[in-house]
Amino acid sequence: MSAVDEVKQRLDIVQVISAYVPLKKAGRNYKGLCPFHSEKTPSFIVFPDSQRWHCFGACGTGGDVVSFVMKRENLSFGEALKLLAARAGVQLQPPTPQQEAEADERRRLWDLNRQAAEYFHRLLIESSEGAVARRYLEQRGLRPETLRAFQVGYARDDWQALGSHLKAIGWREEELLRAGLVIEREDGSGTYDRFRGRIIFPIRDARGRVCGFGGRVLGQSEPKYLNTPQTPVFDKGSVLFGIDLAREAIRRAETAVLVEGYMDVL
Ligand SMILES: [Zn+2]
């Protein structure tokens, strides 16, 4: 039996979903308010016989216990399975050394990006060099609490500022390169900061991990916007700036407002 089947066999879907949604017995099945759209009359049904769930309201979708946890906790299939396997006491196939190494690298890059975001944010809020950026953002009507919520930052107009800072706190040059924070010099004599003299918008995934950055110039130089390149944790085409802060409200309102730029989101 596969690990998925074993997990599903050992867990009762009614019990798992009850931890998220109060369910009432209705005939052979269970009924509750759908956690994926807002409603006053329950149209979310859990079927113990088939171990499946379905929303007969606005969502019109359903699935099994794994897909429920994926949707509710916003996890990948593998992550949801891991969580449920732990609950069910099922031993999952250990990851291969290569998978382990890749997962480890992603964790390192998220951590590195988080520290870079903190550095940029401190510069914007506290430094004298950040004053020009602070003035610009204030003129655009942004309040300090908005800048804090999005952890907006500032990159000094300097070729080495971020790189030196991160290396001083223990990061290796290869890691900075992998994260796209620095760029290799063509003559091979080291690296320089990708973001210079820019307002920095940390881009987070739905779970709040900093996966990349967008940088807007101050003044007239080009390009106006610069983004982190493709990295093991950043795929520009599959991330929505602000989703980590907006997802609960989107779920409640059943409406997502999409806008074009970072400043529009703010
Ligand atoms: Zn629904």
DSSP for 175-215 reads HHHHTTSEEE-TTSS-EEES--SEEEEEEE-TTS-EEEEEE
User: Is 252 a residue whose pLDDT tops 90?
Assistant: no
Task: Give me ligand 1 centre to Cα 45, in Å.
Answer: 10
Q: Would you list the domain boundaries of the chain?
A: 3-88, 97-265
Which of the four pLDDT bands, split at 50, 70 and 90, describes residue 182? very high
CATH entry, 97-265, from 3.90.980.10, 3.50.50.60, 3.30.420.40, 3.40.630.10: 3.90.980.10
Residue 95, helix vs strand vs coil: coil
Task: Give me ligand 1 centre to Cα 19, in Å.
Answer: 17
The residue to which tokens 């900061």 are assigned: 193
Task: Give me ligand 1 centre to Cα 15, in Å.
Answer: 19
Let me know the angle formed at the C-alpha of 248 by 244 and 250, rounded to the nearest 5 degrees: 95
pLDDT of residue 243: 92
Task: Give me ligand 1 centre to Cα 43, in Å.
Answer: 7
Task: Give me ligand 1 centre to Cα 225, in Å.
Answer: 38
Per-residue tokens: 117: 């975001």
Beta strands in the chain (DSSP E): 24-26, 29-32, 44-47, 52-55, 62-63, 153-155, 182-184, 191-193, 198-204, 210-217, 225-227
Give me the interface pTM, i.e. the ipTM.
0.99
User: Each residue of 183-224: pLDDT tens digit?
Assistant: 999 998 899 999 999 999 999 998 899 999 999 999 888 889
Q: How many residues does the chain have?
A: 266
Are 3-88 and 97-265 in the same CATH fold? no
State the DSSP code for 93.
P
The residue type at 219: G
Task: Give me ligand 1 centre to Cα 58, in Å.
Answer: 5
pLDDT of residue 80: 94
Per-residue tokens: 25: 């017995």
CATH entry, 3-88, from 3.40.470.10, 3.90.580.10, 3.40.50.1820, 3.50.50.60: 3.90.580.10
Q: What is the mean pLDDT of residues 42-47?
A: 96
Task: Give me ligand 1 centre to Cα 54, in Å.
Answer: 8
211 near 203, Cβ under 8 Å? yes
User: Is 28 a residue whose pLDDT tops 90?
Assistant: yes
Task: Give me ligand 1 centre to Cα 76, in Å.
Answer: 20
The residues near 47 (Cβ < 8 Å, ≥ 6 apart) are: 13, 28, 29, 53, 54
Determine the Cα–Cα distance for residues 173 and 171; give it in Å rounded to an integer: 7
pLDDT of residue 125: 96
123 near 129, Cβ under 8 Å? yes
- Nearest CA to 246 out of 210, 201, 213, 208 is that of 208
User: Each residue of 74-116: pLDDT tens digit?
Assistant: 888 989 999 999 999 988 888 889 988 999 999 999 999 999 9
